[in-house]
Chains A and B, each alone.
Chain A
Amino acid sequence: MKTFPIGGVHPSDNKKWSCEKSIEVLELPDIVNIPLAQHIGAPATAKVAKGDKVLTGELIAEATGFMSANIHSPISGTVTAVDMQLNGQGLRQMMITIKREGDEWMPEIDRSAEIKRQCNLSSTEIIAKIKQAGIVGMGGATFPTHVKLSIPDGCKAEYLIINGVECEPYLTSDHRTMLERGEELLIGVEILKKALGVEKAIVGIENNKPDAIQSLKKIAKEQGYDVTIEPLKVQYPQGGEKQLIAAITGREVPPPPGLPIHVGAVVCNASTTVAVYEAVQKNKPLIERVVTITGKDMKEPRNLLTRMGTSISKLVEMAGGLPEGDVKVVNGGPMMGRAMVNIDSPVTKGCSGVSVYSGDEAHRVEPSACIKCAKCVEACPMALEPYLISKLAKKQMWDRLEEEHITDCIECGCCQFTCPAGIALLDYVRLGKQTVMGIIRARAAANAPKK
């Protein structure tokens, strides 16, 4: 069975609490907060003001330039504020607040359960519809999908790879989506193939989801979809774009600024592919998504189809409330998710799950001296030497860090996860990476020809 070639770790996946729970529709929120920046690139520009009436699916913020994404209203009602509000990390961020009145949808959105297989649109039309629907990578990276699908001059896409790996422990939203919306996913694959003009499409799924693999294989065979379902050996971080491409095609994406397209690959997350289907076939913008709410001490872990902008505290409540004592509530999974201070913050396009840790699990292990065991070097999927770059970052040796290719780091957390001494390696690596990237940008700006 295929997997990526360098490094990797095997954390316990802890998906058992939620992987057998069918997707349930969360009741509509009475109020939603929609951040204008919930994708990589420029924040969207608000198109509504306080007092405006909006319908479900109506455009409320428009992409600011190419590298940005549209945002639509997830409910119908009245805009009550366009103002700064606290996000999950406790930082102030521009958000549109809407108070719900009923649930009236934009008329062009097809809300029927009927599966629409036929798609006669051209590549340009498909990409335009995806852009219009505000679709971004739903695996967490939130890269605007229309940008990914617009192949730069001189490059050619050979492979469409659908990321159904969900290597992040605890999370099961992609798993449930693949299982319950298999045919829509495969129609989405056909649409993306057409948009890219590629022949080969491969869905990569880790072998800990045999039901999803079987179900997709069966649908593909019965309905005659030309797609390969590729089971992958379980190993974190296989869902990382570069790792997944290497696992499936054997090709390594060149170091930054290298892109997947430079080895002929375009990767799209499984839930995003279903969103592409909905956008193209049903005119439905990205206004809701499946969010896993889980944790060892959560009474009722669930997979909930949630409207964007719903307060995360609502999900926590649906799962039986927070356990007593010290808790860590993480937007995302344990390896790359972000701990929150404000659980009244909203669900956004990149929020695939909320995982809750309590007691000892909520705290880091006590650090001790580095014993130079080299386990971090062995675990690093980007072939870096985390012990070294962490130390160099601590000493602020930025030149040396650049020589050690710190900007290759994908911040997967394997080094810190595996460190027997419990050293917070990634803290310093992140600091070093951000600083060095700033230096590289400043240098490029200084060296740019003056107009």
Chain B
Amino acid sequence: MANKFIVATAPHMHSPLSTQRLMRDVLIALAPALAVSAFVYGLDVLRVTAIAVASCVLVEYLIQKFLLKGETTVGNLSAVVTGVLLAFNLPANIAWWIVVIGAVVAIGVAKMTFGGLGRNPFNPALVGRVFLLIAYPAQMTSFPTPVYPGYVDAFAGATPLAALKAHAIEAGNVNLVNMLAGVMPGSMGEIAALALLAGGIYMLWRKVITWHIPVAVLGSMAVFAFVLAFFQSGVSSLLYELPAFHLLAGGAMLGAIFMATDYVTSPMTAKGMVIYGIGIGVITMIIRQWGAYPEGMSFAILLMNAVAPLINKYVKPKRFGVIVKK
């Protein structure tokens, strides 16, 4: 009997989890929003997504293969996720070469310069997006009109947030059901609130993410908007209309569910995640209310990415067996 005895320390069993499986689940969770977006904006959505994914994967592959001359790890699908998320942050009619530049910045600058997956301090897709927003402000903020049959423009050609900022609309007069369904101008992936929520529920069910960050982000935004509405018009229907508007408009859902929950750039403890989420929610609302930009989700997440290491340093889990005196 020729047996080779394998020896290692415990545990001798591993869960079926792998990085690739987690990333695949994120992609599955993103699929409904992609489908809604393609329905609202047409085939342009698929074109932009394909270019973004292909360039992200290619940039990572080329850097690993020829610059670092090491192992290539595009098989773990993390570059694919970055590609989809980058595309979701772009208008559907954007030029192909702008997408490619975004991918180079996202993967080449924000991810690989820091050592690749797991080491980047900032969310790569958001760095790509913010770079493009600053470099190509005109192209990044002119959104196409939805091609959805029977679409009626309620926002004067702008996104709901831009329209609100320009006082072109009142938050109380907006058809919230349309916003929930995704019938409004905006970046490709951010418009379909309901589909994004479905993706979030899928990720919670598959235990890809925990509830802490999305609930903290959206909860703090809602509370902020509620207080704002109270100061604007006292007890009125605006008390629920303004929070609902802010949660459905712009990148709130996409940011809270998919961008802020990025593993690498968010805190490690449940308590830390809640603090981080509240930070994102509050900064987003401050920018939306008083900032120069109509939307602040990307900036808020990137700012809190910078704070995440500090949160990890100071926010520790409660030690087992230590009784907290009340």
Contact between B320 and A417, CB atoms less than 8 A apart: no
Roughly how many angstroms separate A293 CA and B21 CA in the complex, as a whole number? 33
Enumerate chain A residues within 8 angstroms of B273, measured Cβ to Cβ.
374
* A340 interface contact, C-beta 8 A: yes
Enumerate chain B residues within 8 angstroms of A413, measured Cβ to Cβ.
10-11
Contact between B264 and A372, CB atoms less than 8 A apart: yes
Stretch of A75-83, A194-202, A219-227, A363-371 that contacts chain B: A363-371
Q: Which one of A252, A355, A374, A384 has the greatest number of beta carbons of chain B within 10 Å?
A: A374
Give which listed residue, A258, A327, A375, A387, contacts B321 with CB less than 8 A: A258
Roughly how many angstroms separate A324 CA and B2 CA in the complex, as a whole number? 7
Contact between A382 and B320, CB atoms less than 8 A apart: yes
Contact between A242 and B320, CB atoms less than 8 A apart: yes
Roughly how many angstroms separate A373 CA and B321 CA in the complex, as a whole number? 26
Enumerate chain B residues within 8 angstroms of A378, measured Cβ to Cβ.
210, 270
Roughly how many angstroms separate A322 CA and B269 CA in the complex, as a whole number? 43
Stretch of B12-20, B225-233, B292-300 that contacts chain A: B12-20
Give which listed residue, A334, A387, A426, contacts B13 with CB less than 8 A: A334
Enumerate chain B residues within 8 angstroms of A385, measured Cβ to Cβ.
268-269, 316-317
Roughly how many angstroms separate A424 CA and B316 CA in the complex, as a whole number? 22
Contact between B323 and A426, CB atoms less than 8 A apart: no
Contact between B17 and A383, CB atoms less than 8 A apart: no
* A138 interface contact, C-beta 8 A: no
Majority secondary structure of chain B interface residues (helix, strand, loop or mixed): loop
Roughly how many angstroms separate A156 CA and B124 CA in the complex, as a whole number? 58
How many B residues have CB within 8 A of the partner chain? 44
Contact between B76 and A374, CB atoms less than 8 A apart: no
* Contact flags A337-352 to B (C-beta < 8 A → 1, else 0): 1111101000000000
Contact between A417 and B1, CB atoms less than 8 A apart: no
* Contact flags B1-42 to A (C-beta < 8 A → 1, else 0): 101111111111111011101100000000000000000000
Given contacts A254-B321, A255-B320, A385-B317, contact A375 B10 (CB under 8 A): no
* A418 interface contact, C-beta 8 A: yes
* A9 interface contact, C-beta 8 A: yes
Contact between A327 and B263, CB atoms less than 8 A apart: no
* B73 interface contact, C-beta 8 A: yes
Roughly how many angstroms separate A338 CA and B32 CA in the complex, as a whole number? 46
* Contact flags B266-279 to A (C-beta < 8 A → 1, else 0): 11111001000000
**Which of A7-33 touch B at CB < 8 Å?**
9, 11
Contact between A364 and B8, CB atoms less than 8 A apart: yes
* B325 interface contact, C-beta 8 A: no
* A70 interface contact, C-beta 8 A: no
Q: How far is the CB of A49 from the nearest CB of chain B, in Å?
A: 34
Roughly how many angstroms separate A4 CA and B181 CA in the complex, as a whole number? 42
Given contacts A254-B321, A369-B116, contact A426 B11 (CB under 8 A): yes
* Contact flags A394-422 to B (C-beta < 8 A → 1, else 0): 00000000000100100101001111111
Contact between A339 and B7, CB atoms less than 8 A apart: yes
Roughly how many angstroms separate A277 CA and B76 CA in the complex, as a whole number? 55
**Which of B136-165 touch A at CB < 8 Å?**
none
Roughly how many angstroms separate A334 CA and B323 CA in the complex, as a whole number? 33
* Contact flags A406-444 to B (C-beta < 8 A → 1, else 0): 001001010011111110101100100000000000000
Contact between A420 and B7, CB atoms less than 8 A apart: no
Q: How far is the CB of A159 from the nearest CB of chain B, in Å?
A: 16
Roughly how many angstroms separate A362 CA and B9 CA in the complex, as a whole number? 12
Give which listed residue, A6, A329, A426, contacts B5 with CB less than 8 A: A329
Roughly how many angstroms separate A413 CA and B14 CA in the complex, as a whole number? 10
Roughly how many angstroms separate A72 CA and B269 CA in the complex, as a whole number? 50
Given contacts A339-B9, A370-B118, A372-B268, contact A254 B14 (CB under 8 A): no
Q: How far is the CB of B70 from the nearest CB of chain A, in Å?
A: 12
Contact between A330 and B12, CB atoms less than 8 A apart: yes
Roughly how many angstroms separate A416 CA and B14 CA in the complex, as a whole number? 7
* A148 interface contact, C-beta 8 A: no
**Which of B109-124 touch A at CB < 8 Å?**
116-119
Contact between B10 and A337, CB atoms less than 8 A apart: yes
* A335 interface contact, C-beta 8 A: yes
* B322 interface contact, C-beta 8 A: yes
* Contact flags B195-217 to A (C-beta < 8 A → 1, else 0): 00000000000000010000000
* A154 interface contact, C-beta 8 A: no
* B167 interface contact, C-beta 8 A: no
Contact between A242 and B321, CB atoms less than 8 A apart: yes
Contact between A383 and B319, CB atoms less than 8 A apart: yes
Roughly how many angstroms separate A250 CA and B315 CA in the complex, as a whole number? 24
* B69 interface contact, C-beta 8 A: no
Roughly how many angstroms separate A418 CA and B12 CA in the complex, as a whole number? 12
Q: How far is the CB of A257 from the nearest CB of chain B, in Å?
A: 11
Given contacts A326-B4, A405-B319, contact A373 B15 (CB under 8 A): no
Q: How far is the CB of B262 from the nearest CB of chain A, in Å?
A: 9
**Which of B235-266 touch A at CB < 8 Å?**
263-264, 266
A residues whose Cβ falls under 8 Å from a Cβ of B: 6, 9, 11, 169, 242, 252-255, 258, 321-322, 324-330, 332, 334-341, 343, 355, 357, 361-365, 368-375, 377-378, 380-385, 387-388, 405, 408, 411, 413, 416-422, 424, 426-427, 430
The 5 closest A-B pairs by CB, nearest first: A413-B11, A334-B13, A383-B317, A369-B118, A420-B17
5 more contacts with CB within 8 A, not counting A340-B7, A371-B22, A374-B267, are A242-B321, A338-B9, A341-B7, A365-B14, A372-B268
